[in-house]
Every structure is written in C-alpha cells, then in structure tokens.
Amino acid sequence: MTDHIGGQVRSSPKRPMRLLFVIDSLVSGGAQRQMVNLALGLVRRHHTVEFFTYRPGTHHLAPLLKQQGIQVHQYRKRHRFSVSVIFALRNLIRRGNYDVVLSFLTTPNLYNLAARCSLLRYPRLIVSERTCDLPGRIPPSRRIARPLYRIADHVVVNSDHHREYLARRYPFLRRKLSTIYNGLDLTHFAPRRTPALDGGRDLKLLVIADTSRSKNGLCLVDAVGILSRSYGVFPTVSWVGDQEAEGDRLVYRREMEQAICRNGLRAQWRWLGQRDDVVDLLHEHDLLVHPSYVEGMPNVVCEALACGCPVIVSDTLDHPRLVEDGVSGFVFDWREPADLAAKIRQFQTLPETSKAEMGRRARQYAVHSLSLQRYVDDFEGMMSSLLGE
C-alpha cells in the first residue's frame, strides 16, 4: 500500500502533543473504534488525548479510554443539530491549550469547523471522512461541510478511492488530502493457533454489517439461492449486525427476508444480531462475504484479513487493493449475484491446503499494511508536520 500524506515528510514529534478528539459518541461503530485505537496508540507514545462527545446513549468504548486515563468530555445535545454543541466545544478548546483538534465523521466535522469559525485562535484542525458518497448522491450535511474544509489544516480519508474522488470534485482540497488506512491490534485480530482442515462439513459464510441498502444483502441472498439450485451447494450464512432496523434499513431487511423465503433459504440463514466475539466468529467461518458497494475502509474486511479468514468482496472502492483476487480471497461484480455465487463455488472447490494458504496470504497483507503501529505512525507524523516539528 502507498501512503499519501499530502506531500509531507513524516517526522517524529519533538515534544508530546496535547490532542482533542471530537466524535459523536463512543458506541462500537467502525469510526469510533478507529478513533479509540488511535488515541490508545498515541497515549502509549506519551501524548495527551482527550475526547469530546455529544450524543446521548451507551458509550461501549468509554471503559477502554478510562483504563488509560483518557478524559472524555460528554456534552448531551438536545436537538438534531444543536448550536449549543458548538458553544460547548468552543469553550473547551478555549481553556484546553490543545495542539490539534481532530474530528471523525461529517457532523462532528461540522461542529469542529463551526467552533473554528467562532474563535480567533484555534489549534491545528484536522477533519476526517470515513465513508464515501452513494453513487450520484451527496448527503446535505456533506454539501455543507466540504466547502468549509478550506479552513481545515488537513483532511484525512481512509481509502484511496475516496481521496481521488474528493480531489476530482473539490480541487481546492488536493494539497491537504491524505489517505491513512485503518489500523488493527494484530495480537488480538490473529489467526487461530491450530488451523482446522475439516473439508467434509458444509461451507460457513459470515457477514458483519447492518441492513443498509448499500450493504447489498439481496445480492448475497440471490447468490446463495443460485448455489443451491445450480450447484447443489448449501452454505450456512451468519449475518451479524444491528437488528434494530428502522426507516429504509427496515424496508430493506424485509425485502431480504422475503427473498430468503422465496429462495427456500430459511434453514440456512441466521440473523445473529450484535456480537462482541468477532474474532471467534471469524475463526469459526470459512469466508467473510462483504458485498457492500459504499464504504470507506471496511473494518470487518481488515479484521478478517488479520485473522487469516479469506474474504469475498465487491469489485469497487479500495476492495480490490485490500483483497487480491484468487490470492487472499476473491473479488466479484457487485451487481451480479451469479458472479458472487461462482466465486463462492470456486472457493468451495479448492483443496483445503489452498484455502489455508489463502488465509496465510490474507494475514501477510494485514501485517504489512494494516498494523496499528503503521496507523499511529501516519497520524503522529502528519500532526507533527502540521505543527512544524
């Protein structure tokens, strides 16, 4: 993988930095986990990190920060977009003497930028987008935020696809854009110690996603139906993710359930809900299937690769850079269930030694490109450069 740090040379900071991280909440979402990973890595390097959050709810990740003495400033907003959040953030920054304020996700970016506009003196400001736009559609919040990125010192994304897209659409951002891939604790996300080669059992597929339309679940349902009808292959599918769907997620979930019944797959399909044992699940399944066509850098794919679990991904975004077709998994046309079925079938017919080798190659890629050390190095070096150190 090539790191893109906006043309800047990475250097070790000359002094410990004082950093404020701005995020909506500390739920166990992908962006939140990545921000917490970064904070923990920087604290181990003797930097001071504090968090500012504003959304009420269960903060699953807060205990990890508390264990390391990382302070979390929790402000509870009362409205969807609340001016009071801007004032609370501004007042914290006034008295905090921070070197850098970093925000992840569009709405936290907006609050960060708005606070910047309300203060004459402000720390270095970094915003980060963690997912790309739906094809042909830019959310209103991003339409508002992106012109304001002019006042940010740097803009970080976690995929080359999204960096290239932003550079084309917003040329004024080109000099301040960087790609920094996600980082993982590779001692936690690791292969099982004794790989099992039990080729006689049924194929076990794992999906870790919500039921957003962009996750492309119907494609997988239809592909499993094709496997049953055309190949006599009957894999089990375990779908892990939030079951409290609403709005279009609920509509799409119902469409998927109807398709599951129509294809006669109810006995093969398991909705597992939210789970904390992701590593164990990856070890228990043969393949992670990720049919999504809108992502930033998918944490679940990174985690699967690190655990030595081969992955089948859609042929869009940075997915073909993460998964080498036929080497660490397979890449399929996200519009074609028949192509996904063919790739699952291709994996199923491999000798067990070839499947194991595919898992080893997946792990090798993760060690090379997805380590927590590399992730923290990139952010630390970028911040240091912005501070002129």
pLDDT digits (tens, 9 = 90+) for 229-265: 999 999 999 999 877 777 888 999 999 999 999 999 9
Q: What is the pLDDT of residues 310-319, one digit of tens each?
A: 999 999 999 9
Q: What is the pLDDT of residues 334-372, one digit of tens each?
A: 999 999 999 999 999 999 999 999 999 999 999 999 999
pTM of the model: 0.87
**101 has a pLDDT exceeding 60:** yes
**11 has a pLDDT exceeding 70:** no
Give residue 5's pLDDT: 37
Give residue 256's pLDDT: 97
**What type of residue is 263?**
N
In this prediction, residue 6 has a pLDDT band, given cuts at 50, 70 and 90, of: very low
**109 has a pLDDT exceeding 50:** yes
First to last CA, the chain: 26
Q: What is the pLDDT of residues 123-155, one digit of tens each?
A: 999 999 999 988 888 999 999 999 999 999 999
Exposed, middle or buried: residue 135 (CB in 10 Å: 0-12, 13-18, 19+)? exposed
- In contact, 313 and 362? CB cutoff 8 Å: no
Hey, where are the domains in the chain?
Answer: 4-183+371-386, 204-369
CATH 2.70.150.10 fits 4-183+371-386, yes or no: no
Give residue 198's pLDDT: 53
Give residue 203's pLDDT: 95
Position of tokens 């393949």?
287
Exposed, middle or buried: residue 272 (CB in 10 Å: 0-12, 13-18, 19+)? middle
299-306 helix and 30-44 helix, angle to the nearest 10 degrees: 60
- In contact, 168 and 161? CB cutoff 8 Å: no
Length in residues, the chain: 389
Give residue 4's pLDDT: 37
C-alpha to C-alpha distance for 315 and 325, rounded to whole angstroms: 10
Give residue 14's pLDDT: 62
- In contact, 71 and 50? CB cutoff 8 Å: yes
Instruction: Please tell me the least confidently modeled range out of 8-12, 103-107, 287-291, 321-325.
Output: 8-12
Mean pLDDT of the chain: 91
Second CATH level (architecture) for the domain 204-369: 3-Layer(aba) Sandwich (3.40)
Q: Between 282 and 7, whose confidence is greater?
A: 282
Q: Identical fold at 4-183+371-386 and 204-369?
A: yes
Mean local confidence (pLDDT), 42-47? 96
**77 has a pLDDT exceeding 70:** yes
Mean local confidence (pLDDT), 267-286? 94
Give residue 162's pLDDT: 95
Nearest to 157 by CA among 106, 229, 220, 121: 106
In degrees and rounded to multiples of 5, residue 313 shows phi and psi of -125, 160
